[in-house]
Amino acid sequence: MATANSFDVVVIGAGPGGYIAAIRAAQLGLSVACIDEWKNEKGGPAPGGTCTNVGCIPSKALLQSSENFEHAGHQFAEHGIVVDKLAIDVARMMARKKTVVKQNNDGILYLFKKNKVSFFHGRGSFAGRGEGGLWQVAVAGAKAETLSARHVIVATGSNARPLPGAPFDEKNILSNDGALAIGAVPKTLGIVGSGVIGLEMGSVWRRLGADVTVLEALPTFLGAVDTQVATEAHKTFTRQGLKIVLGAKISAVDRGAAGVKVSYADASGKAQTLACDKLIVSIGRVPNTIGLNGDAVGLAVDDRGFVTVDDDCRTNLENVWAVGDVVRGPMLAHKGEEEGAAVAERIVGQKPHVDFNTVPWVIYTSPEIAWVGQTEQQLKAAGREVRAGTFPFMANGRARALGDTSGFVKVIADARTDEILGVHMIGPMVSELISEAVVAMEFKASAEDIGRICHAHPSLSEATKEAALAVAKRALNF
């Protein structure tokens, strides 16, 4: 039972990890407060965290706008649709993005109300333990308050990592925040890091007409992705016009009136410079515990700043849990959501399980890239004997009708048991197709299981069925 400011659970952070934890805890009958400090343009609350405000949602809005623009310019003609004087109104595109973000902010506030989660707008910080060992959490917002709680869930997310000596100014040197709010298409755009943000943001601005160069420190492209998919992606993105420089060692970043100059050594060690109007730095993210006052209560963090947790998201402190980007594991919204829901269930004594091996990854470029489970190179390195089947979208009727036949689906199965160990996709709408593979892996399906399931025709999902059949060299349409 909650008294005015006393709760069963206080969640700090209303990103995907935090707000889902709060809702699930409330569904389970607990009294719950959620504190979040994100402000909208008017200073009001904007729950949803990085994901809603400067991450998943706005990036997908801009990816859609820019893809529509590219289709209008390059693909409509073959459908007999004539577009005269194609132009992009960046201000309008950004206004639409803001509307989409606000719909999501408002949606979370509505869900809090519906589930009777008390929302506090402001910064939450540990203020020690009070009577009965209850945690005290101070809220610094429009008014200062102190909440007490049996359990605290830390879901404070992550921040963009700057290049040493080149802090973000969000004008010329941009984090994800600035990259999602560029006011006009830059003539030249530099990107440091060919990871997920670099490729998604590079795609947005290239489609709208920017000359985009991506500088990647590693000698391999998308090293964590199945090699066959990464090779196809590199070929396709390069053909689309992204300039990808691998093995680039950056030595200096200089800001000038006209833009940014990046000095780097290329893979052969030769000194090079890249002059660009804007530079997006997307070299990974760091966990955020700023202002949490965790030190004062002895909250343990590891040497990289992540809050230390066990497999169940328990921290070193009694009844303090942590989920999402602020703890180990992939920095993905849906990973944080699963952890948040699971922690709420553990608080009431349930025994949920989050399997990191079945957390899907998606890169929302065009073609999209999606995977779940292990790559062929990981499995071979681990000495597993596997069989792989691939099926190209070129041979899929729906993909031909869509006019998007790039890429393929690859299913990897254990050579002896046929259990699916990984599914890797590059092609149209694979962000949606990957869910079938996740379900299959959760149920420990064999490749033959997918091959025997009836898939609607014509649909892109038939490529998954065919790739599964191809594991036993019995694809029907290729």
Chain residues binding ligand FAD by CB under 6 A are 12-18, 35-38, 49-51, 55-56, 59, 123-125, 155-158, 176, 197, 288, 291-292, 324-326, 331-334, 336
457 has catalytic annotation: yes
Among 364, 371, 393, 408, interactor with ligand NAI by CB under 6 A:
364
- Using CB distances below 5 to 8 A depending on partner kind, what does residue 217 bind out of ligand FAD, ligand NAI, none? ligand NAI
CA distance 163 to 21: 33
- Report the nearest approach of ligand NAI to the CB of residue 161 (Å): 7
- Report the nearest approach of ligand FAD to the CB of residue 382 (Å): 26
**Choice between 428 and 451, CB closer to ligand NAI:** 428
**Choice between 50 and 464, CB closer to ligand NAI:** 50
**Choice between 137 and 201, CB closer to ligand NAI:** 201
Look up residue 324 and give its two tokens.
Answer: 């999402």
Among 148, 194, 289, 390, interactor with ligand NAI by CB under 6 A:
194
For position 174 contacting ligand NAI by CB under 6 A, the verdict is no
Contact 438, 387 (CB under 8 A): no
- Using CB distances below 5 to 8 A depending on partner kind, what does residue 403 bind out of ligand NAI, ligand FAD, none? none
CA distance 328 to 222: 20
Contact 436, 422 (CB under 8 A): no
Which backbone phi and psi does 227 adopt, to 5 degrees? -55, -40
For position 408 contacting ligand NAI by CB under 6 A, the verdict is no
- Using CB distances below 5 to 8 A depending on partner kind, what does residue 343 bind out of ligand NAI, ligand FAD, none? none
- Using CB distances below 5 to 8 A depending on partner kind, what does residue 147 bind out of ligand FAD, ligand NAI, none? none
Alpha helices in 266-355 (DSSP H): 294-297, 333-347
C-alpha pair distances (Å), 445 with each of 77, 166, 338, 359: 43, 48, 22, 16
- Report the nearest approach of ligand NAI to the CB of residue 197 (Å): 3
Dihedral (Cα; 183, 184, 189, 195), 10-degree rounding: 50
Residue with the shortest CB distance to ligand NAI: 195
User: In what helix (H) or strand (E) does residue 377 lie, and over which residues does it extend?
Assistant: helix 376-381
Contact 40, 98 (CB under 8 A): no
DSSP state of 141: E
In the sheet with 361-363, reading across from the earlier edge strand, the strands are: 361-363, 368-373, 420-427, 408-414, 386-392
CA distance 344 to 136: 19
- Using CB distances below 5 to 8 A depending on partner kind, what does residue 428 bind out of ligand FAD, ligand NAI, none? none
Residues 292-351 that bind ligand NAI (CB under 6 A): 330-332
Which positions touch ligand NAI (CB under 6 A)? 163, 192-198, 200, 215-218, 248, 250, 282-285, 330-332, 362-364
What positions carry a catalytic annotation? 457
